[in-house]
């Protein structure tokens, strides 16, 4: 019992540090934020901080891991809902991901530029592998159901689940790169929309799904992201 209480206290204090870090990333930016900022906000010592995290980089990795856990918890009920057909599960999965990102928009935008620096290349690869491990089984569950329902056709459902997630992750990386350099006066949102359509078409072909049966993200939600930098504040 004592061990359980200590584990709970540890998790609560660790999450408190992450909560403050997430807020500071939004208000100051990751690069401008210092560990001292976190200590001052929480009124804790360096020793207390280093009991949970050994570096600022470790904080970044922990924030990403926590976000991945949130996504997994969000998508798991959809994948295992006994009342939903497979195509509806896929569509709800994409919609849930899109709405989750939009709800986190301010924080994600604050984190985006530092996340895609060369310094974080290894961390990105680790995060991608961790996300694959979490989400691929959920997609596999939906794909197997789709095969049973006759709405998907692939002889390699387990392998295809990994390929499908890779497409989703690749699209996310591509959109992030476009977002970092997007200027409404110079760039055309239709180009962004065509990329989303191309990835969606590729996913439908990989899954053997009917054409136009899936939608990664709708045009209106894309417009919420691809606005002027001043509007993205």
Do 92 and 62 reside in the same domain of the chain? Answer: yes
Give pLDDT, residue 1. 46
Q: In the chain, what are the helix, strand and coil shares in percent, each to the nearest 5?
A: 75, 0, 25
Mean pLDDT score of the chain: 90
End-to-end alpha-carbon separation of the chain, Å?
46
Task: Find the domain containing 27 and state its range.
Answer: 1-54
Q: Is the pLDDT assigned to residue 233 strictly greater than 80?
A: no
The CATH number covering residue 32 comes to 1.10.10.60
Listed residues 14, 30, 54: the one ending a domain: 54
The pTM is what? 0.86
Q: How many domains does the structure of the chain reveal?
A: 2
CA dist 224 to 99, 162, 168, 227, Å? 11, 29, 19, 7
> How does residue 187 score in pLDDT terms, banded at 50, 70 and 90?
confident
H or E element that contains 221: helix 219-225
Mean pLDDT of 5-21: 90
Residue with tokens 């280093």: 50
Q: pLDDT tens across 159-172, in order? A: 999 999 999 999 99
The Cβ of residue 160 has, within 10 Å, a number of other Cβ atoms equal to: 20
Question: Are 74 and 143 members of one domain?
Answer: yes
pLDDT higher for 84 or 119? 84
d(CA 17, CA 23): 10
Query: Which three-class secondary structure state does DSSP give residue 122?
Result: helix
pLDDT for res 3: 55
Q: Do 42 and 64 sit in the same domain of this protein?
A: no
Domain assignment present for residue 232? The answer is: no
- Report the pLDDT averaged over residues 134-154: 97
**Spatial distance between the Cα atoms of 84 and 90, rounded to a whole number of angstroms:** 10
């Amino acid at each position: 019992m004592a061990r359980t209480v200590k584990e709970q206290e540890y998790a609560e204090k660790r999450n408190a540090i992450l909560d403050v870090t997430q807020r500071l990333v939004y208000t100051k930016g990751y690069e401008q934020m210092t560990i001292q900022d976190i200590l001052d906000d929480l009124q804790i010592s360096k020793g207390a901080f280093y009991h949970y995290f050994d570096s600022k980089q470790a904080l970044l990795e922990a924030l990403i891991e926590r976000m991945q856990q949130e996504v997994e918890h969000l998508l798991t009920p959809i994948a295992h809902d006994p009342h939903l057909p497979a195509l509806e599960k896929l569509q709800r999965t994409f919609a849930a991901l899109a709405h989750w990102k939009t709800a986190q928009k301010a924080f994600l935008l604050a984190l985006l530029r530092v996340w895609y620096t060369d310094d974080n290349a290894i961390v990105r690869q680790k995060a991608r592998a961790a996300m694959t491990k979490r989400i691929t089984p959920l997609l596999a569950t939906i794909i197997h159901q789709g095969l049973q329902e006759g709405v998907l056709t692939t002889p390699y459902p387990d392998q295809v689940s990994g390929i499908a997630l890779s497409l989703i992750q690749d699209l996310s990386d591509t959109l992030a790169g476009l977002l970092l350099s997007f200027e409404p006066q110079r760039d055309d949102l239709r180009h962004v929309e065509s990329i989303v359509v191309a990835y969606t078409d590729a996913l439908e072909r990989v899954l053997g799904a009917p054409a136009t049966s899936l939608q990664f993200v709708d045009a209106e939600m894309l417009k919420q992201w691809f606005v002027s930098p001043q509007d993205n504040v």
